[in-house]
Amino acid sequence: MTAKKSEKSTVIGADFAELLADVKGRIQAAQTRAVLSVNAELVRLYWDIGRIIDSRQQREGWGAAVIPRLARALKNELPELKGFSERNIDRMIAFYRQYPRPDEFSPPAVAKLQPQEKVPPMVAKSPTSGKVPRPAARLPDSLLWLVPWAHHIILMEKVKDRPTRRWYMEQALASGWSRNILALQI
């Protein structure tokens, strides 16, 4: 009886190890997809914020003074929120101005084959205007959304040529470069 129990425990132990490895792999893959999805949404949001500020500046003649005011107001209204400093808002505007047509940066063929998560449409109305804002999630698929924001900052600061910048974006994605590796490659 002890030999059979020991043999059964070994089989269950091997099956359990396989189950554990499978579940662990699925959890890690889901975590990676979640991080990439959040990053893509943030980059879309930053582009969209740059677009709306640039549009207002062009249409209403706003100067650069609106940026520090907006940064302060966001900090006061949403104190837990990070990433909306005056410097970063300037970067969002520059990002939009560098890439006013994100559809020109279609993703590489391999990236197009990956399933995209569906994002529910934004239904909340803006409390100030009553209009439904254009959600950044509805922007066309673009290589821009796949590249982390920190990478975009490095590329905008160090690479002035758009085709070269695109090449670095593709290489960073294909090779999994961190922002430090990207900075070293430039």
DSSP string of 43-80, one letter each residue: HHHHHHHHHHHHHHHHHH---TTHHHHHHHHHHHH-TT
Number of domains the chain contains: 1
99 inside domain: yes
Q: What is the pLDDT of residue 138?
A: 47
Q: How far apart are CA 102 and CA 126, in angstroms?
A: 25
156 inside domain: no
159 inside domain: no
Q: What is the pLDDT of residue 101?
A: 84
Q: What is the pLDDT of residue 125?
A: 38
Residue 40 has pLDDT above 50, yes or no: yes
How much of the chain is helix, strand and coil, in % rounded to 5?
Answer: 70, 0, 30
Q: What is the pLDDT of residue 179?
A: 87
Tens of pLDDT along 84-132? 999 999 999 999 999 988 777 666 554 444 444 433 333 333 344 444 3
Q: What is the pLDDT of residue 168?
A: 92
Q: What is the pTM of this model?
A: 0.69
66 inside domain: yes
pLDDT bracket for residue 6 (50, 70, 90): low
Q: What is the pLDDT of residue 115?
A: 42
Structural domain that includes position 73? 2-146
pLDDT bracket for residue 139 (50, 70, 90): very low
